[in-house]
Every structure is written in structure tokens, then in C-alpha cells.
Amino acid sequence: MKLIYILINLLLILQSYSVYALQNHPLAVLWNIDDEHVPEWLEFERYLIAIDDILRPILEEESFISSFGGTYINIFYGTIIVNTVDFSKVDELLALPQIKPYNNSLYFEEANNSLSQLKNNFAEIFWLSKLKHAKNLYILTDMEYNNIVLNFFNRKDNNTEFLDAVKPFNPTIFYFDGEETPPTIIRPRRDVDNSKREIRNRLLGGEGVYNSATSRPCSAGFWAVNKDEPEPLYIITAGHCINETSGRNDFYYLPWNAQTNLSYLGPMIYSTDDPDFSVIQVNGEDVSPSFAISNTDNDQYKEFIITGDALLSSHGVHACKSGYTTHFTCGYVKGLNGIFISEEHLRSNLIITDLYSESGDSGGPVMSFVSPQDLNSVVLHSIHVAGGAGLSASHSIDEIFKNLEESCCIHSLKDLVLYLGNS
């Protein structure tokens, strides 16, 4: 009997060990495949994205916009699903020289809503959400549902008026009753240990930044620098990480899982609500900049190197985030023009994914893997700004830089670029 138990235990240990050993890379976990297959899957996803990039603008053209209802990538089916309202247009599309070579990667699925219908319904529903004071929801164009999806996250709200008003547009409606975890309260300690002064810690994207004016943690998105001046350096985090009524918002470095004394970073010098981001000017001497993103829970892939920034434009592809509370998590892109409405905020033009996040992750970088040859490299897309109800929302970096260039008051912030080291 005893021997059997030992054997069973041994088997269980071996099994869990092998599962752990085979799925180290975040994409192996997301796609539920072995590490060794990640490069070929990623290459295939890149291939489908390249085709989708050709296809999407064509489907927006006058001759197709009423016949097709958007596309999304499904890596498990290995195709781009093309929502098709009018099948008589399929041959015309496949006859185009740009599309013809890829006919085998397209799957035409019967659908009711054309892209023009979806655009119209989205605009109407967005407008009605303001008019009828809709509360606590996401609004997104979900290509998988071929519809506008409303995701309510507080069933107690009375959204009757709004719901009645949007009935003609027949949106898909979900309610989520999950609980939000209360924010972690961590008090700053300013008693810096002098003996450790000379050791400068690199602050990675996704690690914590603590604001003494809110007594709450957020996450560092990425380091930025003026393209013509090497100093000072800046950290971008979420806009709602600041206390608007406080005269000063001073930020401190808050490493994952670490109970060390917090190093001073510097003050917030610019902040906006939509897009939801703020700029911390790093005056503190204790931390040094980096262009890596934290995944330090993982022994094999502790850091991911940012090689640049890019727009996310395909539905259904993977996206990952790093953040102080839930660390590194991945999911799929659900919407690209999303709206998030809470008690205090309305944010638009959001990337909506189903990756897992909690409060404290705000500001953290959202990225994707792009190189089958280098599974340690990522491109940055956006910073996480809201989550809950099984979804997460982020603002694109492009929009952040555009806001700085066009609307920001401080001259040196107008030409900020992503910090990528001295090279």
C-alpha cells in the first residue's frame, strides 16, 4: 500500500514538474502548448496578422463595407474569420490580386451585421450612453459576436433607460457580478538605507510605483525621454494614479513582492484623464531606467526586452500586460475602439482584452510578442487603465505621445519618445 502511495506521489510530482517545465513562456501557457512550439505558433500568428493588415483596409472600402462585417484571427482554427453578410461578394474579394494568394487562410462565416452597420450602431450606442447616463460598463465592437457588446459590471445599477434606448440596435449584453478586490494599501517609508545608496536598481515596466498623495500603488508603464535631451527621464503611468486635490503627487519605487524601503522617484508633472496617463519626472538617484518588462515570477523568462512600439489592429490576437498586483498575464484582443464608463470616468478609444488584471495594475505596459526567433522581445502597445468583469482596457502609446505633442503644456514633454537605451 505504502509503495503505491509513493509511486502515485512520484508520478504526480513528475507530471506537475513536466507541465511546469514545458510551459514556461507566457504564450505556451496562453495557447496551452509546449514551449518548443511557441516559435512556430507565433510565426503563424504573425502571418495571419500580415494578411489581416492587407484585408482590413479593403473591407473598409465602399464596395465591401456593407457586405462584410469585420475580421478576427483565431489561432486555434488557424484562419482569419471574415464575417460575411453578402456571400455574392466573396468571389469578387478573392479575385483581388492582393487577396488571392491567401484564400486558404480566410474563412467566410455567415453574419448579420456589416461593418457599416457596426460602425453606425456603435456611434449611436455611445451617444445614448452619454444621453442616458449609462453606468459601469464597457462598450465594444466584438468581431467574434459580430455585434456591439455591452459588458455591465455592476448589476445593482439602474440602466433601464439606457437599455430601453439601445434596443433598436440589438447589442449583445453581458452582466458580471465578480467582486473587485480592494486596493492594497502600502505606506511609504522614506528612511532610505544609506549603505545601499550606490546600488541603483533598474525599474522595469510593470513594477510598482507608489504615490504618497493617494497611498496607493500603481504600475510603471514605460520609461520615456525627450528625443533631443538625455535628461531628465520620465516614467509613464496611468492618469488616475494621482490625487487631483493634492498639491504634490510624489512617486516611489515599489518592487514586486519586496518589502524593501521605497526609493524616491519624483513628482508627477503632467496628467490627463482621457487618455488616462500621467508623467513622472524621475529626479531620484536610486533607480536607473530600463527598457525591459518584468516577469520575475518566471525563472526562464524573467524580463522581456522592448524593441519598439506599435499599434494593435487585429482582433483575436494575443496581448499581455505586466503589473504590480497580478504581474504578467496574457489574453486576447476583444475590441479596438472600446469605451469604459465607471462612476467617475469615461474613457474612449481603448484596446479591450480579456487578460486578467486588478487594481494596482493601472499604468502597466501592454505588449505582444512579435519575434519567433527571440521570445524575450516584445513590442509595446499601450498602458493598462481599467479592468474588471473579465476584461481589461488600455490606452495606446501612440495616443499618449500624440496628446503630449498636441495638448501638453510643458515644452520638454512635447517630443517624448520611448526610452530604448543609448543605442
Which 169-198 positions form the footprint of ligand NAG (CB under 6 A)? 191, 193
Q: d(Cα 362, Cα 394) in Å, to the nearest integer?
A: 9
Choosing from 214, 226, 298, 371, the residue that interacts with ligand NAG (CB under 6 A) is 214
DSSP calls for 311-344: ----TT-EEEEEETTTEEEEEEEEEEEEEEE-SS
Q: Which of 324, 350, 376, 375 is nearest to 211 (CA)?
A: 324
18 near ligand NAG (CB under 6 A): no
- Tell the smallest beta-carbon distance from residue 58 to ligand NAG (Å): 17
- Tell the smallest beta-carbon distance from residue 115 to ligand NAG (Å): 15
261 near ligand NAG (CB under 6 A): yes
- Tell the smallest beta-carbon distance from residue 123 to ligand NAG (Å): 21
**Candidate segments 1-9, 31-39, 110-118, 312-320, binder of ligand NAG by CB under 6 A:** 110-118
> Which three three-digit cell numbers place residue 242?
494621482
DSSP calls for 273-294: TTTTEEEEEE--SSEE--SEEE
Which of 197, 227 has the CB closer to ligand NAG? 197
103 near ligand NAG (CB under 6 A): yes
Which of 103, 407 has the CB closer to ligand NAG? 103
Catalogue the long-range contacts made by 99-107 (C-beta closer than 8 Å, 24 or more residues apart): 99/54, 99/55, 99/58, 102/51, 102/54, 102/55, 105/47, 105/48, 105/51, 105/78, 105/79, 105/80, 106/51, 106/55, 106/79, 106/80, 106/82, 107/77, 107/79, 107/80, 107/81, 107/82
92 near ligand NAG (CB under 6 A): no
Q: Which of 357, 345, 348 is nearest to 319 (CA)?
A: 357
Choosing from 32, 245, 373, 422, the residue that interacts with ligand NAG (CB under 6 A) is 245
243 near ligand NAG (CB under 6 A): yes
**Candidate segments 243-251, 306-314, 331-339, 354-362, binder of ligand NAG by CB under 6 A:** 243-251
Which of 38, 203 has the CB closer to ligand NAG? 203
98 near ligand NAG (CB under 6 A): no
Choosing from 32, 88, 160, 423, the residue that interacts with ligand NAG (CB under 6 A) is 160
Q: d(Cα 345, Cα 219) in Å, to the nearest integer?
A: 19
Q: What are phi and psi of 224, to 5 degrees?
A: -135, 160
Which of 110, 229 has the CB closer to ligand NAG? 110
The single residue listed with the C-alpha cell 445614448 is 128
213 near ligand NAG (CB under 6 A): yes
- Contact residues for ligand NAG, defined by CB under 6 A: 103-104, 110-112, 158, 160-161, 191, 193, 213-215, 243, 245-246, 260-261
